[in-house]
């Protein structure tokens, strides 16, 4: 007798929306009434790192505006192909820091799991354009090697799920991981770094909320929005569900020329985040990855922007301005050339 096949699991709504993402740059330009701007779009850049953007994120872009700050983050442009000295393939030294399959232990007490290589969106400035991480993810092989690496190192108190985007994994797969982590007594905190609640807020469904609510550890979710326009009612609802599940919400942004390199823009981002229950955490200087040079803001400008933020808003609305330097024991705060440290929130 032929054994009954297991019932196929229904794809979740967010998975359908994920698959329905815009991947053709021409379609994106059509949707935004920007057909006339097609010449700036680069098929070569798109071949290097494809366009991918969820439709609900496209809906937050302004029609007819080629400089829209959300559009700039995803549209493949000719500028990416211009060679730029100092911009390479492994900008943050992760190639050297991998301790086990998909586990990066760079900082004391923390293990970062490259849970998966997938994302719902392809951000042009991302190191991921060169690291699809196809063979090195922690989820491979039922999390076995990653769990062993955490179990064997009692100094690891905090597990960070990162990627790619860890919430691109099915909730069942995430449950598998945290069920195993419960058995490791030195793990005391869980942190999730994810852009999905921003770019595909439908990901935060009842199933995800139930998983998070049942976790035994203090939970921090670090989302990633670079501009206030990335928030809308759906994103607010996703943030409410995350908070209802007990998560503390922080935002990390990347300082990007033409996207958020004005003090008003950064202030508006912090304020809009607060309205959704998210406090700023880090403002990153760009990782110097090949193809992203046109997004770079020089350090003097970055410091001046940061100082202006410190001068005008509440301390808790000021992110720490940092850069990741290979070999450092933590993210490095940007410093003034005369050696004064940048004022950051404590």
Q: Which residues bind ligand SF4 (CB under 6 A)?
A: 119, 121-123, 126, 128, 163-165, 195, 224
**Least distance (Å) between residue 106 CB and ligand PLP:** 4
| Cβ-based nearer residue to ligand PLP, 21 or 302 | 302
Please report, for residues 56, 90, 111, 198, 199, the alpha-carbon distance to residue 226 in angstroms, rounded to integers and kept in the order given: 16, 23, 25, 10, 11
Residue 183 burial (C-beta neighbours within 10 Å; 0-12, 13-18, 19+): exposed
Q: Which does 165 bind (CB under 5 to 8 A by kind): ligand SF4, ligand PLP, none?
A: ligand SF4
| Cβ-based nearer residue to ligand SF4, 187 or 266 | 266
| Cβ-based nearer residue to ligand PLP, 112 or 115 | 112
**Least distance (Å) between residue 331 CB and ligand PLP:** 5
Q: Which does 52 bind (CB under 5 to 8 A by kind): ligand PLP, ligand SF4, none?
A: none
Q: Which does 330 bind (CB under 5 to 8 A by kind): ligand PLP, ligand SF4, none?
A: ligand PLP
Contact footprint for ligand PLP (CB under 6 A)? 104, 106-107, 110, 112, 160, 330-331
**Least distance (Å) between residue 161 CB and ligand PLP:** 11
**Least distance (Å) between residue 201 CB and ligand SF4:** 14
Counting Cα atoms < 13 Å in the Cβ hemisphere of 220 gives: 16
Q: Which does 160 bind (CB under 5 to 8 A by kind): ligand PLP, ligand SF4, none?
A: ligand PLP
**Least distance (Å) between residue 95 CB and ligand SF4:** 16
- Closest listed residue to residue 325, CA positions, set 281, 284, 283: 284
**Least distance (Å) between residue 3 CB and ligand PLP:** 44
Q: Which does 118 bind (CB under 5 to 8 A by kind): ligand SF4, ligand PLP, none?
A: none
d(CA 22, CA 70) in angstroms, rounded, equals: 14
Q: Which does 122 bind (CB under 5 to 8 A by kind): ligand PLP, ligand SF4, none?
A: ligand SF4
- Closest listed residue to residue 232, CA positions, set 279, 267, 199, 256: 199
**Least distance (Å) between residue 160 CB and ligand PLP:** 5
Q: Which does 331 bind (CB under 5 to 8 A by kind): ligand PLP, ligand SF4, none?
A: ligand PLP
| Cβ-based nearer residue to ligand SF4, 187 or 238 | 238
Q: Which does 121 bind (CB under 5 to 8 A by kind): ligand PLP, ligand SF4, none?
A: ligand SF4
Find out whether 319 and 265 touch, Cβ atoms under 8 Å. Answer: no
| Cβ-based nearer residue to ligand SF4, 195 or 323 | 195
| Cβ-based nearer residue to ligand PLP, 107 or 217 | 107
| Cβ-based nearer residue to ligand SF4, 79 or 157 | 79
**Least distance (Å) between residue 138 CB and ligand PLP:** 13
- Closest listed residue to residue 53, CA positions, set 92, 27, 81, 80: 27
| Cβ-based nearer residue to ligand PLP, 157 or 299 | 157
Residues 6+ apart with CB under 8 A from 13: 202, 205
| Cβ-based nearer residue to ligand SF4, 177 or 286 | 286
**Least distance (Å) between residue 228 CB and ligand SF4:** 18
């Amino acid at each position: 007798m032929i054994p009954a096949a297991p019932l196929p699991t229904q794809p979740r709504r967010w998975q359908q929306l994920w698959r329905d993402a815009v991947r053709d740059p021409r379609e994106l330009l059509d949707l935004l009434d920007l057909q006339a701007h097609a010449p700036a779009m680069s098929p070569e850049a798109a071949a290097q790192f494809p366009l991918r953007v969820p439709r609900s994120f496209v809906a937050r872009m302004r029609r007819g505006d080629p400089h829209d700050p959300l559009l700039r983050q995803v549209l493949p442009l000719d500028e990416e192909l211009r060679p730029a000295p100092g911009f390479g393939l492994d900008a943050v030294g992760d190639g050297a820091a991998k301790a086990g399959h998909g586990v990066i232990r760079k900082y004391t007490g923390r293990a970062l799991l490259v849970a998966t290589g997938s994302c719902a969106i392809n951000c042009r400035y991302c190191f991921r354009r060169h690291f699809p991480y196809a063979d090195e993810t922690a989820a491979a092989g039922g999390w076995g090697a990653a769990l062993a690496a955490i179990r064997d190192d009692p100094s690891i108190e905090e597990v960070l799920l990162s990627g790619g985007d860890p919430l691109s994994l099915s909730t069942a797969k995430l449950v598998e991981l945290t069920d195993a982590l419960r058995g490791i007594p030195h793990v005391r905190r869980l942190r999730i770094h994810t852009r999905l609640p921003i770019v595909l807020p439908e990901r935060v469904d009842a199933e995800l909320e139930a998983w998070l609510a049942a976790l035994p550890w203090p939970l921090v979710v670090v989302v990633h929005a670079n501009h206030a326009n990335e928030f809308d009612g759906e994103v607010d609802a996703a943030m409410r569900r995350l908070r209802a599940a007990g998560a503390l919400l922080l935002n990390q942004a990347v300082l990007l020329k033409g996207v958020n390199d004005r003090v008003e823009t950064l202030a508006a981002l912090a304020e809009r985040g607060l309205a959704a229950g998210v406090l700023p955490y880090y403002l990153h200087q760009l990782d110097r990855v090949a193809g992203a040079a046109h997004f770079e803001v020089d350090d003097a400008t970055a410091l001046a922007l940061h100082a202006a933020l410190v001068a005008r808003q509440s301390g808790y609305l000021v992110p720490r301005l940092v850069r990741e330097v290979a070999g450092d024991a933590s993210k490095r705060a940007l410093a003034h050339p005369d050696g004064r440290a940048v004022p950051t929130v404590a």
